[in-house]
Amino acid sequence: MNHDTIAAIATAMSNSGIGIVRISGEDAIPIVDKVFKSIKNDKKLANMQTHTIHYGYILDEEELIDEVMVLIMKGPNSYTKEDTVEIDCHGGILVVQRVLETVIKNGARCAEPGEFTKRAFLNGRIDLSQAEAVIDVINSKNKFALKNSLNQLKGSIHEEIIRIREILIYHIAFIESALDDPEHISLDGYNNQLVEVLDQVLDKLTVMLKKADDGKLLKEGIKTVIIGKPNVGKSSLLNYLVGEEKAIVTNIAGTTRDIIEENININGVSLNIIDTAGIRETEDIVEKIGVEKSIRYANDADLIIYVVDSSTYLDENDEQIFKLLKDRKAIILLNKIDLDMLTTKKMIEEKTDNVVIPVSVKENDGIDSLGETIKNMFFHGKIEFNDEVYITNVRQKNLIKGAFESLKLVKNSVLDEMPEDFYSIDLMDAYEQLGQVIGEAVEDDLVNQIFSKFCMGK
- Show binding-site residues: 22, 86, 125, 231-236, 250-256, 275-278, 458
Greatest alpha-carbon span in the chain: 88
Strands ordered across the beta sheet of 355-358: 260-266, 269-275, 222-227, 303-309, 330-335, 355-358
Q: Is 22 helix (H, G, I), strand (E, B) or coil?
A: strand
Distance CA 26, CA 81 (A): 10
β-bridge pairing 222-227 and 303-309: parallel
Distance CA 54, CA 35 (A): 13
Judge contact between 297 and 274, C-beta under 8 A.
yes
Please, which residues bridge with residue 360 across strands? Answer: 365
Binding-site annotation: residue ranges for (6S)-5-formyl-5,6,7,8-tetrahydrofolate: 22, 86, 125, 458
Binding-site annotation: residue ranges for GTP: 231-236, 250-256, 275-278
Binding-site annotation: residue ranges for K(+): 231, 250, 252, 255
Strands ordered across the beta sheet of 84-91: 36-38, 52-60, 63-73, 84-91, 16-24, 6-9, 109-110
> Where does 114-254 have alpha helices with state H?
115-122, 128-139, 143-154, 156-180, 190-220, 234-242
Binding-site annotation: residue ranges for Mg(2+): 235, 256
In 3D, which of 113, 12, 133 has the Cα closest to residue 458? 113
CA 10 to the chain's CA centroid: 21
